[in-house]
């Protein structure tokens, strides 16, 4: 089969079709999408080598599976299910885990892929494939609300109106807090506004503007310092940015201001599927362009442009 392999360089090449082992099932990939993590891996993040990609919608082809013939999305962490962290509901932190397209597990930029059956979620019938491909990043946006209580009376600054920032902004809107989304790009601010998000240019911020909760989803190493400079004392900073090179931060200001810093990664799929299928989060305006799988190299180039939001791949 054809697959997009990264081994120091990126290439679309022929590889053997994957064979499911243990409780894995074979899945035919229907749609995938390019995430910032994929672009960072190509720059050296995680040191991953293999087939890239972790955001997908597919159809189960293993006839032995109870999901055979069903359209599914899948959680990306394949954990052992037996260790201390797995037994204390922290499966996404299992030290023995592999991660789809990120760590020791071939990803979804291919004709076929494998995942354990327990990672899979069947699509609600009303949900389009193009929307369903956003389940994984939307689950990551929802994870913030699993991690901290945010009261509607608190104000929130979201830094970054990119792919993830636009999803996070839509989720915060449902909570009713006074939320402002900032970006350096006029086009992204305009796009966010067209989606009903309260977005402004970051240049309008003064030193006096502060929030109780800041979320950094700039995808930029300096985003953390920007967010810290607009946090009230005892405020909470949620970090969503993962980059191949990280920023220096002054730890003194964290002690003096009693800031709380919360790293945030993967989240629950069921609430994400629920929000998408009810139309409470609409990812369609975030799609900049859809490429055919054969043109995925062009898709990667296009996705790396600062003005691009989500690139989908039709398999
Ligand atoms: Zn992703
Ligand atoms: Zn484990």
Cα separation of 100 and 225, whole Å?
Answer: 30
Helix segments in 176-313, DSSP class H: 186-194, 223-228, 251-257, 269-277, 296-303
Instruction: Tell how far the Cα of 78 is from the centroid of ligand 2, in angstroms.
Output: 9
How do residues 188-211 score in pLDDT, each as one tens digit? 999 999 999 999 999 999 999 999
The predicted pLDDT at position 101 comes to 97
**Domain 2-133+283-314 classified CATH 3.90.600.10?**
no
Cα separation of 225 and 233, whole Å?
Answer: 15
- Give the number of whichever ligand sits closest to the CA of residue 92: 2
The predicted pLDDT at position 296 comes to 98
- Give the number of whichever ligand sits closest to the CA of residue 96: 2
- Give the number of whichever ligand sits closest to the CA of residue 55: 1
Q: How confident is the model at residue 44 (pLDDT cuts 50, 70, 90)?
A: confident
The predicted pLDDT at position 149 comes to 92
At residue 299, φ and ψ (nearest 5 deg) are: -60, -40
Instruction: Tell how far the Cα of 82 is from the centroid of ligand 2, in angstroms.
Output: 5
pTM of the model: 0.92
**Domain 139-263 classified CATH 1.10.1040.10?**
no
Q: How confident is the model at residue 274 (pLDDT cuts 50, 70, 90)?
A: very high
Instruction: Tell how far the Cα of 194 is from the centroid of ligand 2, in angstroms.
Output: 43
Instruction: Give 104's contacts (C-beta < 8 A, 6+ positions apart).
Output: 50, 98
SS3 9: coil
pLDDT at residue 59 is higher than 80? yes
Q: Which helix (H) or strand (E) holds 291?
A: strand 287-292
Instruction: Tell how far the Cα of 24 is from the centroid of ligand 2, in angstroms.
Output: 16
How do residues 77-132 score in pLDDT, each as one tens digit? 999 999 999 999 999 999 999 999 999 999 999 999 999 999 999 999 999 999 99
Instruction: Tell how far the Cα of 207 is from the centroid of ligand 1, in angstroms.
Output: 32
Cα separation of 86 and 191, whole Å?
Answer: 40
| Domain residue ranges in the chain | 2-133+283-314, 139-263
């Amino acid at each position: 089969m054809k697959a997009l392999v990264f081994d120091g360089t990126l290439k679309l090449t022929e590889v053997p079709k994957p064979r499911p082992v243990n409780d894995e099932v074979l899945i035919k990939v229907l749609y995938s999408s390019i995430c910032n993590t994929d672009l960072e891996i190509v720059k050296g993040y995680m040191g991953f080598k293999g087939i890239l990609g972790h955001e997908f919608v597919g159809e189960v082809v293993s006839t032995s599976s109870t999901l055979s013939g069903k359209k599914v999305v899948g959680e990306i962490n394949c954990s052992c299910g037996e260790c201390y962290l797995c037994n204390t509901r922290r499966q996404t932190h299992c030290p023995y885990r592999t991660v789809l397209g990120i760590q020791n597990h071939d990803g979804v930029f291919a004709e076929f892929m494998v995942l354990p059956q327990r990672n899979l979620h069947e699509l609600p019938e009303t949900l389009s494939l193009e929307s369903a491909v956003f389940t994984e990043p939307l689950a990551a946006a929802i994870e913030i609300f699993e991690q901290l209580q945010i009261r509607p009376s608190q104000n929130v600054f979201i830094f970054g109106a990119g792919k993830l920032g636009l999803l996070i902004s839509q989720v915060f809107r449902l909570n009713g807090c006074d939320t402002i989304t900032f970006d350096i790009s006029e086009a992204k601010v305009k796009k966010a506004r067209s989606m009903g998000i309260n977005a402004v240019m970051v240049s309008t911020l003064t030193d006096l503007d502060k929030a109780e909760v800041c979320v950094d989803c700039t995808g930029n190493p300096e985003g953390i310092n920007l967010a810290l400079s607009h946090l009230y004392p005892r405020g909470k900073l949620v970090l969503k940015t993962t980059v191949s090179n990280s920023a220096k931060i002054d730890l003194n200001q964290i002690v003096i201001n009693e800031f709380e810093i919360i790293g945030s990664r993967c989240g629950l799929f069921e609430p994400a599927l629920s929000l998408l299928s009810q139309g409470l989060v609409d990812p369609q305006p975030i799609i900049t362009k859809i490429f055919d799988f054969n043109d995925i190299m062009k898709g990667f180039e296009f996705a790396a442009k600062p003005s691009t939001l989500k690139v989908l791949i039709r398999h």
